[in-house]
Amino acid sequence: MNKLIQTEVVVVGGGPAGAVAARALAHLGREVVLCESASFPRPHVGISLSPGVEKQLAFLGLDGQLDRPCHRKEVPMLRRWGTPDFEISAGPTFTIVDRGVFDADLLAAARDAGVRVLHPARVGEQTRTGERWRLAVYRADSHVVIDTRFVVEATGRRMRFRRRRRYGSNTLALCGTWIGAPTGAMRLSAGRDHWCWATPTGPHASSLICFVDPQRFQQLPGSLRERYVTMAEQSGVLPSIEAFTLCADPFACNATPCVSEEETAGILCVGDADLTLDPLSSSGVQAAIQSSLAIGPIVNTLLTPGADADAAMDFWRTSRMRRLNQHRRWSQQLYSEALCRHRTAFWAERAGSEPASAPAVDPPRPMPAPDQLIRLSGQTKFIFAPCLAGGLVERMKCISHLGEPMGFLGKIHLATKLQEAQVFLPASARRLVETWSTSMSPSSAFALLTWAWKQGVLVDASQDEGLVRGTLKPPMNEVITL
């Protein structure tokens, strides 16, 4: 007879999304079993992390995860995108990680939090009985049946339980490893009908990936290796590429942006299993961790008797679509920049419009002087919306500024503090900080002022016409229920 394991949550997949989701649920007091089919450490193509990942790890209490010698921080980016030559990107630097080590460290952190980790362990048949799921799990020396209340799917593009919908252009990634003396920078280059990315992965190795339209790629002459090498040579992302050696045949994988469809009771997907971003966004790991941080309170709410399950699902749906739209806008803007130089169908399809000039960057907004009069922006509303509140999702009063509802800044409930201030606004910045300091530390009060000012939630009131005559009254924003 197969061994039976009973638990509250099963996480299928042990990459960053699965490990973080399992750890978050364990910290909320849930019994969690994680099943990963591969042996760790495992090889992985994705090795570049955006700067936000380090902040996420610090939030998780995993400071120092990127300090291992095998990871390289502050790697600059050189781009030949909308320009004829490579230029240093004005954006942030990146961290190049050994994904085998990085993934294994996150999995160990989940185990340290109390997650029961089974690997290698392949999940097979899955059946629904009443309010529970039963999963057949196959290991090298045994078979296990797991009886659980909830399943979190975190298997990346190997998504097993739902259909996926393409929301971006069909994209094929061609990946290869080159041996030689690499430069100390990542390099990104746009060609007429493809783009390439290269980064150093070790003292004598570099990873080079070309992204193409699969139909166009099939029409090119030569073998897969020959076509890949031609694009790599044209891209210039490996300077003096003739001094490098392609150490094995390149391999191809699907890089098309997709989102999962349908919903199944007792199952949620995270990371690439739910939402696969355009590779140009360079934020796949960060977005995966972001979705996994949210899945903890969401699943905790769904499993808590009397909690607002509808609010949890509303929060999940809106947050994932917000991530989709945000990253799609970022990618389309970058594709539009390349379209300015290469007026081809490849770039036009991905840009989604005519080439656009780079968005104007507003100069840094100086903080208000202590005696400067400020007020609440007319674009800020108070609404009731699903919000993360501790370990649960609840409908509560939030602020909505330019369509983005927010409940908390750290532990500060924004709607409460801003509505307290609304009673006497317009007022000086000094008075506002002093008033907030009666119920929080002065540093927290100043942090709230700084955030609200930089976000445009609080604005300058010194030029308001009514205020000059002494007749201006603060607008009492109505509360809207979502």
The helix/strand/coil state of 437 is coil
What's the CATH number where 46 sits? 3.50.50.60
Question: Per residue in 228-250, pLDDT tens?
Answer: 999 999 999 998 899 999 989 99
Based on the domain organization, do 148 and 183 belong to the same domain? no
Judge if 132 and 230 occupy the same domain: no
DSSP string, 217-237: HHHSSS-HHHHHHHHHHHH-S
Q: Cβ–Cβ contacts within 10 Å for residue 177, how many?
A: 17
Asked if residue 361 belongs to a domain, the reply is no
Classify residue 57: in a domain, yes or no.
yes
Q: Is residue 78 part of a domain?
A: no
Under the banding of pLDDT at 50, 70 and 90, the label for residue 1 is low
Are 305 and 436 members of one domain? no
Q: Indicate whether 269 and 134 sit together in one domain.
A: yes
The per-residue pLDDT for 51 is: 79
320 and 435 both lie in a single domain: no
**Token pair of 408 as six digits:** 């908390």
Instruction: Using the 3D structure, point to which of 305, 333, 361 is the last residue of a domain.
Output: 333
Q: Is residue 360 part of a domain?
A: no
Between residues 54 and 211, which one has the greater pLDDT? 211
Do 248 and 264 lie in one domain? The reply is no
Same domain for 377 and 440, yes or no, is yes
Report residue 472's pLDDT band, with 50, 70 and 90 as the boundaries: very low
Q: Which residue segment(s) compose the domain that 48 sits in?
A: 3-65+97-164+257-333
Last residue of a domain, one of 254, 285, 318: 254
Indicate whether 329 and 395 sit together in one domain.
no
Of the two residues 41 and 73, the one the predictor is more confident about is 73
For residues 125 and 264, membership in a common domain is answered with yes
Mean of pLDDT values over 295-309: 95
pLDDT tens-place string over residues 307-333 = 999 999 999 998 888 888 888 888 999
Q: Are residues 213 and 267 in the same domain?
A: no
pLDDT at 15 over 60: yes
The kind and range of the H/E element at 275 are strand 275-276
Whether the predicted pLDDT of 429 surpasses 70: yes
Count of structural domains within the chain = 3
What is the chain's mean pLDDT, rounded?
Answer: 86
Task: In whole angstroms, give the CA distance from residue 177 to residue 206.
Answer: 6
Considering the domain architecture, whether residues 108 and 198 belong to the same structural domain is answered as no
What digits encode the pLDDT tens for the residues 143-174?
899 999 999 999 887 655 567 788 889 999 99
